[in-house]
Amino acid sequence: MIRSRNLRKRFGPLEVLRGIDFEVQAGQTSALIGPSGSGKSTLLRCINQLETIDGGLLEVKGQRLGVRQTSRGWVRLTEDAVRRQRLGIGMVFQRFNLFGHLTALDNIVLAQRKVLGRSKGEAREAAHRQLRRVGLANRGDAYPSQLSGGQQQRVAIARALAMDPEIMLFDEPTSALDPELVSEVLDVIAQLASERMTMIIVTHEIRFAQRAATTIHMLADGQIIESGSPDLLISAPSHERTRAFLAQVH
């Protein structure tokens, strides 16, 4: 589903991604871990084309991102092509970014109407379905301010799911939550994992990664320094940086 080779990204003089190699198979849940500032968000943003890449290869669903091959060589994708590619990818951020003046249901309806051009009835039906999926069947009429942080994040997940993505990206989805609200969100994500949704989750919740992920990737110094099955990577990390990081977050 996702493949990168020697992927590079810089911000001015700062080279953030310095040759990322990794792969995500369809139906897999990948956890992306690593120190703050190591480039985890940047990597997700490259996959979702919120950032353009500076070098290397990045393929999503077999399509090379950022550039397109023509008889004149590689050229940048048009904005339209980028938009089409991005459609299949749902993203959930640390902050839920729900519209405060819209109900949970209408928050989920909005993008479906605007981006997918769905009818009102169709969009509402999908919204109800996804609210059920995240355990909020009867909170559709609530405004964000009437919901807990955990519930708001589940609405944000439902909103992303309603777009029928083939890939879901989560960027520290529980970092902004009070501790007692973390598990309700992680349970929803674990449920998606068991349904074999293709996902990448940036998280510091190592126990969760161990439980729900197929593979853990450790990012440090702009590279994936280690990838492996959760049990192996956590119990027997082969890299000193991984060992040190795990000791800190555990």
For residue 186, CA distances in Å to 150, 153, 159, 179 come to: 10, 10, 16, 12
Least separation in angstroms between CB 37 and Mg ion? 8
**Among ligand ADP, Mg ion, none, partner that 109 touches (CB below 5 to 8 angstroms by kind):** none
Nearest-angstrom CA–CA distance, 200 and 219: 13
**Beta-carbon neighbour count of residue 187 at 10 Å?**
15
Q: Indicate which single residue of 2, 22, 39, 46 sits in contact with ligand ADP (rule: CB under 6 A).
A: 39
Least separation in angstroms between CB 159 and Mg ion? 20
Q: Indicate which single residue of 7, 24, 31, 40 sits in contact with ligand ADP (rule: CB under 6 A).
A: 40
Closest CB to ligand ADP among residues 158, 219: 219
Nearest residue to Mg ion on Cβ basis: 41
219 touches 33 (CB < 8 A):
yes
Burial label, 3 (beta-carbon count in 10 A; 0-12, 13-18, 19+): middle
The number of residues that bind Mg ion (CB under 5 A) is 1
Binding segment for ligand ADP (CB under 6 A), chosen from 22-30, 34-42, 67-75, 134-142, is 34-42
Nearest-angstrom CA–CA distance, 55 and 85: 19
36 binds ligand ADP (CB under 6 A): yes
Question: Quick check: helix, strand or coil at residue 70?
Answer: strand
Question: Quick check: helix, strand or coil at residue 64?
Answer: strand
Closest CB to ligand ADP among residues 50, 236: 50
For residue 42, CA distances in Å to 16, 133, 212 come to: 8, 29, 23
Closest CB to ligand ADP among residues 8, 133: 8
Paired tokens of 236: 């027997």
Nearest-angstrom CA–CA distance, 91 and 194: 19
204 binds ligand ADP (CB under 6 A): no
41 binds ligand ADP (CB under 6 A): yes
Nearest-angstrom CA–CA distance, 159 and 126: 9
Q: Indicate which single residue of 29, 38, 49, 203 sits in contact with ligand ADP (rule: CB under 6 A).
A: 38
Least separation in angstroms between CB 171 and ligand ADP? 7
16 binds ligand ADP (CB under 6 A): yes
**Among Mg ion, ligand ADP, none, partner that 11 touches (CB below 5 to 8 angstroms by kind):** ligand ADP
Of residues 25 through 54, those in contact with Mg ion by CB under 5 A are: 41
Contact residues toward ligand ADP (CB under 6 A) are: 11, 14, 16, 34, 36-42
Contact residues toward Mg ion (CB under 5 A) are: 41
